[in-house]
Structure 1
Amino acid sequence: DFSDVPYTDWCGQTIHNHLDVHSSKFSGISSCSDAVSHGSASSTKSTELVLGVKSIPDDTPVCRILLRKEVLRLVINLSSSVGTKGHETGLLTIKEKYPQAFDDICLYSEVSYLLAHCTFRLPSRRFIQELFQDVQFLQMHEEAEAVLATPTKQPVIDTSAES
C-alpha cells in the first residue's frame, strides 16, 4: 500500500527508461512504433496476455509495473496507423478494468514524452489525452509551491569592488 508514502518518493521510484527516439530519414516517420513492441502478440488480447497469466492483486507493485508497461506499449503502437482500433480497444479494456492506472501522474508524464517525440495522428492524440482526463495535478502543484516557497540563498554582491 502506497497511501503513506509521499508522492515524490513513490513517483521517484519509477524507472524512467525513455525511449531513444530517432527520426527516420523518411519524412514524418519515426521509429517509435518499432521501439517497444517487438515480440508482442495480438494487441486486442494484450491485457489478457500480460495480466491474465496469473491472478495478480490490483494493489501490488508488480501489477502497477505490468499495467504501466502495457499502457506504454499500446500507446507507442498507436503511433502506427496499422491496427489502431485494436490498440484503442486494448487501452479501453485496461481503463475499464484498472481505472486507477490512468490516474498516475508519472505514467501521464511518460505518455506525454512519447506524444512529444513520436508522430501520432490527431485522432490518436485526442484519444490518448481523453484516457488521462481524470489525472489530478493537485499533488504536483502543492509540491511545486512548496519547493518555490523554500528560501533560496541570495548571492552576496560585493559593492566595494565596483567603486
Structure 2
Amino acid sequence: MTLPSDIELRRIDGSTTTTGEFAGKVLLIVNTASRCGFTPQYAGLQALHAAYAGRGLVVMGFPCNQFGQQEPGDATAIADFCETKFSVGFPMFDKIEVNGERAHPLFRHLKSAAPGLLGSEAIKWNFTKFLVGRDGKVVSRHAPTSSPESLTQEIEALLAA
C-alpha cells in the first residue's frame, strides 16, 4: 500500500506541508512522547538522522498524548524539550492522535498498511516505528521496544534500493 502524497502534516512550528514533500525518501515515522520510558530513543533517532539524512532518510516525529498522558505539553514545550535534551534535528510535527476516531490520516494509513501482532491495527504505546521505502510503500512496523539502532540494516537496505 503506497503512502498518499496529499496527507496534510502540520509541523511543530505551525507551518503545513504534505506527505508529498517527502516523496522519494526513506521515511522512519515515529509517535513520540517526552515523559515515556522510551523517550531516550530520541537520541537513537537523532543518530540515525545524522548518519543517513544525506543519503535520503527522513526521521519524522509525531508527539502523541494518548498513552499514559506522557506528552502533556504544547508545541513550544515539546520543541524546546526535543532541542535542549536531545538536539533533535529531524522534522517534528504537531501533537496528534494515532488511535481512535480522531487518529491522524497518516497513522490510519500506516496502521492499515502494516498491522501489528495478530493483525491488530491499534498502536499500543509511544515510539512505535514505521519504515516507508522510497517508492512510498510501507515496509515494516516496529514495536516501541525496538531500538532505533536495531533498524540500521533495514534502513541501509532501503537506502540502497
State the TM bucket, normalised to the shorter chain: under 0.3
TM-score, normalising length: structure 1: 0.26
TM-score, normalising length: structure 2: 0.26
Task: Compare the two structures and name the one with the higher strand fraction.
Answer: 2
Task: Compare the two structures and name the one with the higher helix fraction.
Answer: 1
State the structure with more CA Rg.
1
